[in-house]
Structure 1
């Protein structure tokens, strides 16, 4: 008869061996997935990635948003959005390592800790997916439109080419770039994409300033009916909401920064975010205010379309936009690649392999290209996605999670601040989704598919 202690020892050894194998397998997967495969980024990587994530095509739509909001409400909303979104970003950076020895590498992991394993997943993931896929689609549309504008500007006598083809040309770059493994590999793309918005924003406001206010410029609301003014106002709030949306990738970016108890990642990450937000202010405020001052309520939903001369400068600005949205697409696509690849290797038990990565990522690029070609409603997409998911993931969820895990004292400044942000976010979400959806319907009535 085998002694009882021998059985226990054997069981413990087997259990320990199984645990070791599970941990080794989990580590191998984490070392392969794009979000957790590298943790040696510097703080300036964070700045590059955050500028690329935050300053999107929305910068060029801000004069158009101002034309729907008016001077007073427009300036107030721009400034308040800058302050509130910087505050909620700080909260997320602080929560990244609030549990000793653990890092919340992904937005949904923080959501699961704060809101519960299942509820956090169901609340965060759908909205994060809408934001990230939405940015990728809008980047496709913007890249295609900017390429077309560049072509039409430098070759005004050339035969007109459909927007569809320019979107396909823009998409072709991403079939190659999407195979780069992780955030650190696209840091060069992010650096180029960081310089671009500073450049094209400067071109946009400097060319507008040189042009001067139009002779018959009007600053009154373009819509004549009360309902039209209200719906335009709602849509414009969506444009602003879109312009400050970088929260869905901030934890994933912070994950790439090394961290120790003595030097946690929140220090360099916050330094990078502050640098990024200074760049955001330099891009957004001059473009919004000068662009609106020059064109009034006749400004297009992309100010570079309103500017036609000097032709070489406008062509250059559109080329800068193309480079920038290439980086923007990659920053928002990387967490989606991580989600999809994790689904295949963790849930469906596929092996980690280059062919799997190649197929998954190319299918994703092809999908976003198809949607962009089918629904190239630039302004309408901004407003709709701004209301549906950008506002909740930027204004609401960080505050809800902060209240859940930090539990600030009742009626304290933090308690009130977070509740006010949540209330504002809920109101914005409702009215933005309505305004953006109406804008899409209006544009769809005049749109010829695949033209």
Structure 2
């Protein structure tokens, strides 16, 4: 019947959508791209706040919790009875937990997408500016200010995102995620290598079992704020649950998607943890209690300048891809809602095939081109007006970490697996959820404090590295 109606069954899956071609490699690349950001290079500072024992232990705890909750979430891609796919995180929550929790999930998820896109715009521009600064320091000395305006680089990053945002959907981004994952490995290796080289020179920075010292490095209150912020950095460094099901929806149906996804989760999370541990521990050994917030963009290293510059190029390229991994689900949500609400509107639904060099046939759509371009422009302007917006992103992350990474996956697992209330499994899952809630609250408090400090020093359009 499909053949008689002109439908090419070779090019579609059993649900009528374009044939999925993803595998363990592409899913792992998406995960690594989403998880590893330039924040990996701030882990030396995070470990410095906690010390040799607590720092690595807390990092490992967050990696285990993320891996565990993600494996629970992977089982929620299909309805176990009907086999129906859940194409998005929101859809899984609505199907399994109901409409009220669906609305809360959507609010947390899309707020986080917006915050991440703003934060990535700012961070990428700082890395791009760091390339220029590395060259300046080399020729003018390490004491030179070499201050650089970030706004031109914010605009460059925004223009790139306007172009990449026109790709129709998430399935067209596998190549970009693979390139971005390679970049994340590149700058992580460079950061680790530079830290190892610094340790090998015989320098002995001041370190301790408990990290920065009260009365010598910081006050008691400062250490408390720093520990809370460091915990937030470690927790949010692993956050990719909001795009996990969207990534899983790119996988081929055979072998079963949840089996393949769990392998990709294990590979992605533990590879990430390996690099995080190296960056955090080796970085702390290299800089001690004086570890900078980011030892590449913060210039913990100056030489070889070309290697520092190359690492920052890698960071910027990686964030180009990571930006798309997070905003594509938001793009698709808005466009799907519009198509459902106004199915007869040609501005929204009509596709116009256009031949493009080096791409092939691009299906032009007025809504997609218009709204995605406007979104990127608005994000770029906000990043220019509020250069301290990373604190707001941190606040959004604080509010999204517990519900998106922990609460909803656990509740979906309990509901779908019919876990008996007050059983040992139910009790331990609730304890885990409550503990992560406390972490999110503490991180939110620290982010709000950072936001207040940033507002007091606000200089719109004056972001300088």
Q: Same fold (TM over 0.5)?
A: yes
Distance change (3 Å), C-alpha of 1:214 and 1:424: farther
What CA distance in whole angstroms lies between the structure 2 residues aligned with 1:38 and 1:302? 41
Whether the aligned pair in 1 keeps the contact of 2:63 and 2:270 (CA below 8 Å) is: no
Give the aligned partner of residue 15 of structure 1. Answer: none
Whether the aligned pair in 1 keeps the contact of 2:60 and 2:273 (CA below 8 Å) is: no
SS in 1 for 2:387: coil
Give the aligned partner of residue 57 of structure 2. Answer: 76
Whether the aligned pair in 2 keeps the contact of 1:238 and 1:382 (CA below 8 Å) is: no
What CA distance in whole angstroms lies between the structure 1 residues aligned with 2:235 and 2:402? 6
In the alignment, which of 183, 195, 216 is matched to residue 196 of structure 1?
183
Shift of 1:248: 0.3
Whether the aligned pair in 1 keeps the contact of 2:35 and 2:238 (CA below 8 Å) is: yes
In the alignment, which of 176, 182, 185 is matched to residue 169 of structure 2?
182
Deviates more, 1:107-116 or 1:340-349: 340-349
What CA distance in whole angstroms lies between the structure 2 residues aligned with 1:356 and 1:203? 42
Deviates more, 1:279-288 or 1:440-449: 440-449
Map 1:38-187; keep pairs closer than 5 Å.
39-99=20-80, 100-117=82-99, 119-156=100-137, 160-187=147-174
What CA distance in whole angstroms lies between the structure 2 residues aligned with 1:214 and 1:407? 57
In the alignment, which of 288, 309, 314 is matched to residue 296 of structure 1?
288
Map Cα deviations across residues 115-156 of structure 1 (whole Å, 9 max, x no partner).
212x12211001101221222111111110000001111244
Give the aligned partner of residue 346 of structure 1. Answer: 340
Distance change (3 Å), C-alpha of 1:37 and 1:181: farther
Shift of 1:256: 1.5
What CA distance in whole angstroms lies between the structure 2 residues aligned with 1:330 and 1:80? 28
Shift of 1:296: 2.2
The unaligned stretches of length 5 or more in structure 1 are 1-26
Whether the aligned pair in 2 keeps the contact of 1:111 and 1:121 (CA below 8 Å) is: yes
The unaligned stretches of length 5 or more in structure 2 are 1-11, 141-145, 351-364
Give the aligned partner of residue 318 of structure 2. Answer: 324
Supply the RMSD in Å over aligned alpha carbons.
2.3
In the alignment, which of 211, 226, 251 is matched to residue 257 of structure 1?
251
Q: Normalising by structure 2, what TM-score?
A: 0.84
Map Cα deviations across residues 251-274 of structure 1 (whole Å, 9 max, x no partner).
0111111326xx321122222222
Whether the aligned pair in 1 keeps the contact of 2:94 and 2:101 (CA below 8 Å) is: yes
Shift of 1:435: 0.6
Distance change (3 Å), C-alpha of 1:84 and 1:216: closer
SS in 2 for 1:303: coil
SS in 1 for 2:189: helix
Shift of 1:215: 4.5
The answer to whether the aligner puts 1:271 opposite 2:263 as a matched pair is: yes
What CA distance in whole angstroms lies between the structure 2 residues aligned with 1:279 and 1:38? 29
Q: As a proportion of its length, which structure holds more helix?
A: 1
What CA distance in whole angstroms lies between the structure 1 residues aligned with 2:285 and 2:28? 31
Give the aligned partner of residue 428 of structure 2. Answer: 417
Shift of 1:98: 3.3
Residues matched between the structures, number: 416
Shift of 1:70: 2.6
Give the aligned partner of residue 206 of structure 2. Answer: 217
Give the aligned partner of residue 221 of structure 2. Answer: 227
Give the aligned partner of residue 206 of structure 1. Answer: 193
Shift of 1:46: 0.6
In the alignment, which of 406, 411, 418 is matched to residue 417 of structure 2?
406
What CA distance in whole angstroms lies between the structure 1 residues aligned with 2:273 and 2:185? 10
Shift of 1:400: 1.9
Shift of 1:169: 1.1
Shift of 1:233: 1.6
Map 1:15-34; keep pairs closer than 5 Å.
none
Q: Normalising by structure 1, what TM-score?
A: 0.86
Map Cα deviations across residues 131-187 of structure 1 (whole Å, 9 max, x no partner).
212221111111100000011112446985411111111111111111111222111
Whether the aligned pair in 2 keeps the contact of 1:47 and 1:276 (CA below 8 Å) is: yes
What CA distance in whole angstroms lies between the structure 2 residues aligned with 1:85 and 1:244? 7
